[in-house]
Amino acid sequence: MTRRTILAGNWKMHKTVEESAALAASIAAALKDKPSNNSSAAHEVVVCPTYLALDRVIAELKGTSVLVGAQDMHWESQGAFTGKISGDMLRALGVTYVILGHSEQRAYFHETDETVNKKALKALAEGLKPILCVGETLEEREGGVTEKVVETQLRGAYAGISAQDALNTVVAYEPVWAIGTGRTATSQQAQEVHKFIRGLLTSFYDSETAEAVRIQYGGSMKAENAAELLAQPDVDGGLIGGAALKADTFLGIITAS
Ligand code: PGA
């Protein structure tokens, strides 16, 4: 089974609409003649700007194979939910992916396994592809409960999702202690947890489904460590924060992969 590598830039709360459009245009220009811009190529490239910039970035990337993702969504279609964005709205714009359950959402905005699941079910119903984030804190890793934490989050995220729909999901393993800290998990640490996640997916579904679902690593990925991480048998891509904010560092990861 060959899984297509997925490299997604998570721009978080960075960049104005103009700055986002400029970054998207640089990425598009650089990938124009590269095989990664060919849909049959081994790499899928995704950028996830702020909600405000989604429309502009989609317009900038038109005619390229770079896809666009959102950083969160609400699980209802519409209603009195001040400050929220629905999956229906994202789909209507032409968004393909949506990051759900990011550790920053969990830590600062009361995201729980239950809300991740509600959002994931709604995203799939809308034809959006959720990138489901899981990962342990430093305290949890040092306490020896990494697998327990990851299992609880993964089980919660996938509750009620059919095998058919699971094929449209991506898992992002993001050890919290590696996010934005410059401290990357070693390729062995990443592979260990990725393999564990694939085993869990096999137990939720079957080995064929588990072999098809892509598992990204996230946490201080950069050009210097991407090749080794991506060479691991169960590491199928990256969810990239800091290094995705500049075209050259993001493209460096694409080249390294
Ligand atoms: P980082 O962020 O690459 O800056 O560590 C990754 C993420 O939070 O998705």
**pLDDT score recorded for residue 180:** 86
* Residue 239 Cβ contacting ligand 1 at under 6 Å: yes
Annotated catalytic residue 102:
yes
Q: What confidence score (pLDDT) does residue 190 get?
A: 97
pTM of the model: 0.96
* Tens of pLDDT, residue by residue, the chain (257 residues): 689 999 999 999 999 999 999 999 999 999 986 554 444 466 899 999 999 999 999 999 999 999 999 999 999 999 999 999 999 999 999 999 999 999 999 999 999 999 999 999 999 999 999 999 999 999 999 999 999 999 999 999 999 999 999 999 999 999 999 998 888 899 999 999 999 999 999 999 999 999 999 999 999 999 999 999 999 999 999 999 999 999 999 999 999 98
> Structural domain of residue 226, as residue ranges?
5-256
Number of domains in the chain: 1
Neighbour tally for 87: CB within 10 Å: 26
- Nearest in space to 235 (alpha carbons), one of 198, 182, 180: 198
- Residue 39: its pLDDT value, please? 46
CATH at 245: 3.20.20.70
Burial of 220 (0-12, 13-18, 19+ CB in 10 A): buried
Our answer on whether the CB atom of 45 is closer than 6 Å to any ligand 1 atom is no
pLDDT of residue 99: 98
Q: Which atom of ligand 1 is nearest to the CA of 221?
A: 3
In this prediction, residue 2 carries a pLDDT of 85
Site to substitute for ligand 1 among 10, 48, 98, 108, most atoms within 8 A of C-beta: 10
Count the neighbouring beta carbons within 10 Å of the beta carbon of residue 226.
Answer: 24
